[in-house]
Structure 1
Amino acid sequence: MAPAIVHFLVGASLLLLLTAPLALRFGTVRRYQLWLILAGGLWGLLPDVHYVAPVLDRTLESLHDSRWVDLFAFHYTLDQPALTGMALELIVGSILLFLVAITVFTAAWSRSGSTSGSRGSQFVAAIVCVALAALIAGTALGAGLYATNRLESVATLYGRESARAGATLLLAWSVVTGAGIAAIIALADETMRATDPVAGISVGMLVAAVGWLFGIVVALPLWMQRFFELSRPFPYLHWQSLIGLLVFGFVFGCCYSLLRRLFESITPGETEVQASSSTQ
């Protein structure tokens, strides 16, 4: 069975995606975004009500085991035995799906004119660029790990052994790290114009070097000893991981900056807003 958080996030994501076209026209839909997330999550969780129902629990349980509950955000499919051993992959996938749904819904909100000024559209662009750049950089790093037969070593950091788990964890780590790099770039630039590849690459590689120093050299041996009773030398000077992280930082910083520049070039609304404000 899939974890409850998976059912909640899948239900919330599907409802947001279904209502995104309505957000283009109706302000009421846009104002109740948080309620849509809650309603969608409960929709995805509804077949599990037999766990807490004081009456008719057997009847509700038999309904839970029928294919009809796929009407509730594919609840039946997500609970199939074939997915039982993929809890981690399902959680990461549902989180990514939720981020995509939030981005699509917010983009519809911004396009409708409800998001104030240019900052709203820039924020949406930043989310999309982080996701795309993290996917590209994570794929580049994953390809290198796969070619050198080290993808399984990523999974061992979390008590897993398969390359599939390693790829899933690497993707999740890429998104989180990419968001951190983008946040540092945004904090360093008050106008949020992170379109300079040199700045993006510099910040990306700096974060990668600091992350290697504290994450691999210091924290990794302590983590492995504490949770898995596996000894690693301290400090753990694993130079191959430093190269991999620097490659990730370089690719992410470059791609993120170029994608931001592309988004600004195809979003004339910001230029028009700035021009009108300067005229006034």
Structure 2
Amino acid sequence: MSIALTHFAVGATGATLLLTYLPVRTRYDVPIIIASGGWALMPDLWRVLPLYQGPVHTLSNSALSNVFWLHSLLDRADPRDSSRLAAVAVAVYLLVALLYAERCRDGPVVAWLWSQRG
């Protein structure tokens, strides 16, 4: 079972990759990325809100939870709640976020900085 940070980072990475390569531009990119990270956490909602413990807990252990950014696959891949996997997921997210930021610009950042040197 992966820790929540891993699930959130995988969900945010998925949305950022979609926003990077789909030919759609929106000014709501940050809320979409945050909502996607929250979407990846939905099968573990029963841990926070005991009201939903019955149906959501059964969803968390089923193959249907893979709809939530491969939630059950991550839980099976990391049974010991490894912080190393969370660190790798966050690092991949940061690299994808840099890629997204670079693709959203009109020109490369390095070329702009070089032209400012004078």
TM class, shorter-length: 0.7 to 0.9
Distance 1:84 1:25 in 2: 37
Distance 1:57 1:85 in 2: 22
2:51 counterpart SS class: coil
Instruction: State the Cα distance separating 1:49 from its structure 2 match.
Output: 1.0
Instruction: State the Cα distance separating 1:88 from its structure 2 match.
Output: 2.4
Which consecutive residues of structure 2, in runs of 5 or more, have no partner in the other structure?
none
Maintained 8 Å contact 1:46/1:72: yes
Instruction: State the Cα distance separating 1:54 from its structure 2 match.
Output: 4.5
What are the Cα deviations for residues 138-173 of structure 1, in whole angstroms up to 9, with x where unaligned?
xxxxxxxxxxxxxxxxxxxxxxxxxxxxxxxxxxxx
- Which segments of structure 1 move beyond 2 Å, counting only runs of 4 or more? 52-56
TM-score, with structure 2 as normaliser: 0.82
Which consecutive residues of structure 1, in runs of 5 or more, have no partner in the other structure?
126-190, 194-269
Distance 1:52 1:25 in 2: 35
Q: Which residue of 2 aligns with 1:7?
A: 7
Instruction: State the Cα distance separating 1:108 from its structure 2 match.
Output: 2.0
Q: Which residue of 2 aligns with 1:70?
A: 66
Maintained 8 Å contact 1:14/1:101: no
Maintained 8 Å contact 1:10/1:73: yes
Q: Which residue of 2 aligns with 1:95?
A: 90
Maintained 8 Å contact 2:2/2:80: no
Maintained 8 Å contact 1:69/1:75: yes
What are the Cα deviations for residues 195-235 of structure 1, in whole angstroms up to 9, with x where unaligned?
xxxxxxxxxxxxxxxxxxxxxxxxxxxxxxxxxxxxxxxxx
Maintained 8 Å contact 2:45/2:52: no
TM-score, with structure 1 as normaliser: 0.37
Instruction: State the Cα distance separating 1:77 from its structure 2 match.
Output: 0.9
1:49 alignment partner, one of 45, 51, 68:
45
In the alignment, does 2:56 pair up with 1:60? yes
Distance 1:20 1:44 in 2: 19
Distance 2:49 2:80 in 1: 27
Alignment of 1:1-280 (within 5 A): 1-22=1-22, 24-26=23-25, 29=26, 31-80=27-76, 82-85=77-80, 87-110=82-105, 113=106, 121-122=109-110, 192-193=113-114
Instruction: State the Cα distance separating 1:83 from its structure 2 match.
Output: 1.7
Could you say which structure has the larger radius of gyration? 1
Over the residues paired in the alignment, what is the CA RMSD in angstroms?
2.6
* Distance change in 2, residues 1:48/1:85 (3 Å): closer
Instruction: State the Cα distance separating 1:55 from its structure 2 match.
Output: 2.7
* Distance change in 2, residues 1:46/1:25 (3 Å): closer
1:55 counterpart SS class: helix
- Percent of aligned positions that are identical: 27
Maintained 8 Å contact 1:70/1:76: yes
Q: Please tell me the residue identity of whatever aligns with 2:4.
A: A
Instruction: State the Cα distance separating 1:41 from its structure 2 match.
Output: 0.9
- Return the structure number with greater relative CO, CA threshold 8 A, min gap 6: 2
* Distance change in 2, residues 1:121/1:192 (3 Å): closer
* Distance change in 2, residues 1:86/1:56 (3 Å): closer
